[in-house]
Amino acid sequence: MKRFILEFATDGGGDIVNLNKMVAEQIRDQAGDGVVHLFAIGSTAALTTIEFEPGLVKHDFRAVMQRLVPDDDHYEHEATWNDDNGHSHVRASLIGPSLLVPIHKGSLVIGEYQQVVLIDFDTRPRRRKVVGTVMG
């Protein structure tokens, strides 16, 4: 088993960061088959896969999130804590903080147009950490 931490800056506000290269660097020495488990630290970030292209990551995904969990709705979280990120917590919890991806001979087993991404739903730029565990 191998553990690693990815750390990077985000712009917040639904910023989507492609993690494929960072994860690939960490698993390239994995000789056989296995899996990598990824976990985003923080309650306003999520992990998933998506085709990392501008139409999806800059427009479509954000538009769907706005329709599902509007940022201008009333959130008790905001009333309690006097902040502006109630929608950020809800969006992150809908997507989820973790992802499990197969590995074969040191490479992620993903589709040609599939990238592993972190989505930062918070309302401000952040330093994010993703903990990875390679098993196999």
* pTM for this model (two decimals): 0.95
CA separation for the pair 102, 36 (Å, rounded): 6
Residue 41: what pLDDT? 98
The answer to whether 45 touches 103, Cβ cutoff 8 Å, is no
Give me the domains of the chain, ranges plus CATH numbers.
2-135 (2.60.120.460)
Alpha helices in the chain (DSSP H): 20-27, 54, 61-68, 76-81, 86-95
Which residues of the chain, if any, have pLDDT below 70?
none
- The confidence score (pLDDT) of residue 30 equals 86
Whether 73 contacts 84, CB under 8 Å: no
C-beta atoms surrounding 7 within 10 Å:
10
How much is the pLDDT for 119? 98
